Amino acid sequence: MNFDFDLVVKSFPLLLLGAGVTIQITALSVSFGLLIGMFVGIARLSKVKLVKFLATVYVDFIRGTPLLVQIFLIYFALPMIIGQRIDPFIAAITACSVNSGAYVAEIFRAGIQSIDKGQMEAGRSLGMTWSQTMRFIILPQAFKRIIPPLGNEFIAMLKDSSLVSVIGFEELTRRGQLIIARTYGSFEIWLTVAFIYLVMTLTISRLVDYLERRYKIDDKH
């Protein structure tokens, strides 16, 4: 078979635009996911039974159902309840953030639990409240420890964000599909799409390695 290199060159700028959108969704979703995940992760450790229960239901539901189904639920099912169409971009970001939040929550929970119990006791024995101790003592230490798993979550989200192509949102995968529909260059385009994903994920994992090394050198500061 012939490899149409010309097609790759011609499509590359369009695919790069798609890659930019992919990075955008990923960055936004993981940022919201971090915020959701921090609170839900803490809620999972709450002594208040209802709070803990709700957080657990959320995490279990999200981790126990496919992201693709969650995207459908938000894009197709939710409009029936609220009686209004949802913009694909909003739907994509919402689905990915809510999804990421559950995974990040588990990362936070594990990170917080890995901090020695004596740290909380020391904070409380000094008269600080639970939330003051959490904020100034536990979370800063936990945060450094969870950089590697958070990096993995970022990479996983970057790849999983390809799923939002099904609701017609034009990120990297969807761009590829559209170009193929026009040119029938399946082989060239999918190979190029895969290559672009690979470059992005490898870059992120190098970045995470760097951060991890930096914090390992001055581990505790």
For residue 68 the two structure tokens come to 């693709």
Q: How far is the CB of 136 from another protein (least distance, A)?
A: 6
Give DSSP secondary structure letters for 67-129. HHHHHHIIIIIHHHHHTS---HHHHHHHHHHHHHHHHHHHHHHHHHHTS-HHHHHHHHHTT--
Q: How many residues bind another protein (CB under 8 A)?
A: 20
CA angle 193, 195, 199 (to 5 degrees): 120
- Applying CB under 8 A, the span of 73-81, 138-146, 156-164, 199-207 interacting with another protein comes to 138-146
- Any contact of residue 221 with another protein (CB under 8 A)? yes
Of 31, 65, 114, 132, the one binding another protein by CB under 8 A = 132
- Any contact of residue 126 with another protein (CB under 8 A)? yes
Of 6, 60, 121, 209, the one binding another protein by CB under 8 A = 121
Closer by beta carbon to another protein, 122 or else 194? 122
For residue 20 the two structure tokens come to 């930019």
Distance CA 48, CA 53 (A): 9
- Any contact of residue 140 with another protein (CB under 8 A)? yes
Distance CA 221, CA 105 (A): 24
- Any contact of residue 144 with another protein (CB under 8 A)? yes
Closer by beta carbon to another protein, 144 or else 159? 144
The footprint of another protein (CB under 8 A) covers 116, 118-119, 121-129, 132, 136-137, 140-141, 144, 220-221
